[in-house]
Every structure is written in C-alpha cells, then in structure tokens.
Structure 1
Amino acid sequence: MLATSWFRHARSRQWVPNKRGLIPPMGGLVPEARMNADVWLDGDSLTLGGRNEREHRALAEAIQTGRVRSVFIPIIEAIDQRLMSRFLAKVALEVLVERVIRVQGWNEEIVDKAALDPLRHFARIGDRPEKWPFSRRRIYHEEDVQHEGDAGYQVLHEFTILCEPLLEPGHLELYAVVCIFGEEFAINMGEPEIASYERWLKAHDGKSPLYTSDTLPVPPVFG
C-alpha cells in the first residue's frame, strides 16, 4: 500500500523518507520530451529524473537542449479500495494492541477473540468478505501547522479507538480511526459496515473521534 501512487505522492510532498532514508518521487509527465519522469519537490526547488538509465539520459539531453519547458504533476486522489481496506485492517489490529498492551491478559484476549478473526483474515488474505468498507474524509489540510506554546509542528498521522454502542444492551462496535496527512479513515473492526460510524458522526456534528471524549483510551476486555 505504501508504494501506491496516493501514498507515494503524499510522502513525497511532505518529504517523508522510506526505510532506506530516501524520499519517494512523485510521478510526472514531461510533454516536450514525450516521457514520464520521477519528480521531487523541495520548496521552490524541482528535481527531475528518468525512471531508468536510458530515460534519464534522454531527459537530461532534452533539458540541456532547452526542449523541456513544463512538467505536469497529477493530483492523486484515488485510492485502491481493497488495498486500503486491508491496510486499515492491519493498522486497526495494531492500534487495538497499542491501546490494551498495558492491560493484564491482553494478548490472550485479542489472539483468542473470535470476533476479530474476520478482520484478521481480511488483513492477511483479503479474499473474504469481498469488500470491507471504510470511511474517508479530510479533516484538515496536510500542510496545516499545529501550535503548542511557541512551537509549531505538522501531524503526519494520529489514531484512536471509537466505541459505538449498538441497539443490543452490552454490545459495542469498535472502530479504528486513523488520520494520515490530514485525511481521516475509519474501519469497523467487527464487521464490514460503517453505518454506525456515519450515525456517530451525524450525532456529533461531524467532529472527528480524534478530538472528542467518546474515544477509548485503554479499552476494558470487550465482549
């Protein structure tokens, strides 16, 4: 998922390196050279590169001879739904572990919890169910700077767990809510639906669970 165009472009725009410390390039189009190119932006500075040695030489020659006058960088909004669903399923399980890791017996409770088996299977295999929907919306711009005292910082990602009561007494829906580069994603950990999350948003005037008191700091053993 991290290699998909949406993630690669977002990480490149925000200058977030990969495990090798390299900034992933965005994909661009150089019309005068009739070729695609790797593009890196750093403030007002733009760097171009070919995708292989032959293309790199051809691009360099086109730049040196003055043929290259423009570069088009597409805005990537589309996300591969299945890949993102599986990615969010994996992240949801990790978020849940992070929240309960200090509770005695957390490992057995999560590993042996049959209610999480469908989510685990979908994260690992992705063959069933056919779809696992998720909520997606932008809650702040990826360039927004948060302020704390005199310091300013960007939030690249944040997450929480939301408990949404169902109609049946004693039953809860667990949602992992993850914000990446200002886009909020929410996935139901118990079943492939998001209707209860949409109801929650409507009841809370669209405010993100990341900024309310309804989230679950350290969940109890859930039934």
Structure 2
Amino acid sequence: MRCIFCKVDSSSSRSVEHIIPESLGNIDHVLPPGIVCDKCNNYISREVEKPFLDSRYIQERRFNFGIPSKKKRIPPMEGFHLQTSTLIHLLKVDGEEGISVCAGPNTDESRWVNSLLSSKAGTLILPIGEKPSDKVVSRFIGKVGLEVLAHRALDDPEILDEIVNKTELDQLRDYVRMVTVSRN
C-alpha cells in the first residue's frame, strides 16, 4: 500500500485520516490507516487543515452552528463592549441551549459587570472574521478532493493503485503537500 499524497510505502502507518476534520463535525467519513501515511497525515493536519480551521471566519461558523471540536469545545467568539471598552467572549457549551457572555481574559471584569448592572442597554460589537485566503481554502479543498476520490476506491485496490500512480494528480498532490501558504 502506498500513500495517496507522497506515494511512499504506507503499510506500517497507523493513523486514520478524516476526510472532513472532526472539528467540522465529521466522525463518519474516514480513510483507514495506510491510505495516507502518518507523515503526510501529520503534515496535512498541521499545514493544511489547521490554517483553515483556525481562521476566524471558520471559527465563527463553528460557533454559530454549534460545531464542537473533537474535545467537545465550541470555539468562543470575541467581541467588544462599547460602553466600557471591554473585550468580551461569547461562549456556547455543546449540548446546552443559549449563549454565555463573559469578560475576556486580562480585562477589568468588575467595571464591565457594574456597567451592565447600572445600564438598561449597551452595545456589543462582534467583528466579522475575514475569510481564509484562497490558497488556504484551495489546499483544503484539494486535500478533501483527493481523499474523497480514494474513499470511493477503497473496495478496489487496483483503482486505488491507479489513483496513486496517476501523473495527472501529481500537481494536486504537490500543491496540497508542499506549497507553503505564504507563497504566491
């Protein structure tokens, strides 16, 4: 068995590869160990998925839709209480209704709380996150695309070998595996 990304022997690999990351709610669509070698799995997790998942835009979507990470945490949203110039966090807990609002770390929580208690109204500003760069998104989509193709061929080792050997897919493999996000 060879890795669909680097084409090296991956028969001793132990990691399953989530086609869509668990942090986006996927637990079902996975590739068994060996389809993606451990080295590529680690690289893709760190250099392809992480920049996509860590973008404020995707974190806001996860917050809005209540999508927890594999550790069952929904990322908080950051905002700003206008009247006290206080950084605030909006929190959701997986499986619970509603949203909690608290002062952000290293802020004067008492000033914020006193303002809330003494005012009938206030303003929270919730900045909208910038979308991830085209390169971050395209590398993520390329990774998903190649893995979906491999997933469809899981029952036929000959087709899986053909996917690995297909030179027409080499540019995609190289783009996903080797291009650094900061390069143009």
Same fold (TM over 0.5): yes
For normalisation by structure 1, the TM-score amounts to: 0.49
Aligned AA for 1:38? Answer: H
Corresponding residue for residue 11 of structure 2:
none
Shift of 1:38: 2.4
Q: How does 1:128-207 map to 2 (within 5 A)?
A: none
Q: Match for residue 71 of structure 2? A: 20
Query: Which runs of structure 2 are paired with 1:48-87 in the superposition (5 Å)?
Result: 48-52=101-105, 54-55=106-107, 58=108, 60-66=109-115, 69-76=122-129, 78-87=131-140
Cα deviations by residue, 1:28-74 (Å, 9 ceiling, x for unpaired): 2222232433223589843224443x23xx2x213321258221223
Structure 1: 4+ residue segments shifted above 6 A: none
- Quote the residue 1:46 is aligned against: 99
TM-aligned CA deviation for residue 75 of structure 1:
3.5
Aligned to 1:102: 155
2:171 aligns with 118
Q: Who is 1:30 aligned against?
A: 81
Conservation of the 8 A alpha-carbon contact between 1:38 and 1:51: yes
Instruction: Confirm whether residue 93 of structure 1 aligns to residue 153 of structure 2.
Output: no
Distance 1:65 1:124, change over 3 A: same
Aligned length: 126
Q: Deviations over 1:72-96 (max 9, x none)?
A: 2234463321111111111111111
Q: Does the 8 Å CA contact 1:29/1:36 hold for their aligned counterparts?
A: yes
Calculate percent identity across the aligned residue pairs: 25
CA distance in 2 between counterparts of 1:48 and 1:72 reads 12
Q: Match for residue 56 of structure 2?
A: 5
Distance 2:168 2:71 in 1: 37
Conserved 8 A contact 1:30-1:71: yes
8 A contact 2:77–2:90 mirrored in 1: yes
C-alpha distance in structure 2 between counterparts of 1:10 and 1:3, whole Å:
11
Q: Distance in 1 between matches of 2:102 and 2:142?
A: 35
Equivalent residues of 1:13, 1:41 under 8 A apart: no
1:31 and 1:110, CA in 2 relative to 1: closer, same or farther beyond 3 A?
same
CA distance in 1, matches of 2:179, 2:88: 33
Deviation at 1:26, TM superposition (A): 1.7
Higher relative contact order (CA 8 A, sep 6+): 2
The Cα RMSD (Å) is 2.7
Deviations along 1:99-153, whole A, 9 cap, x unmatched? 221224133111111111111111112259x76xxxxxxxxxxxxxxxxxxxxxx
Structure 2 gaps, min length 5: 1-51
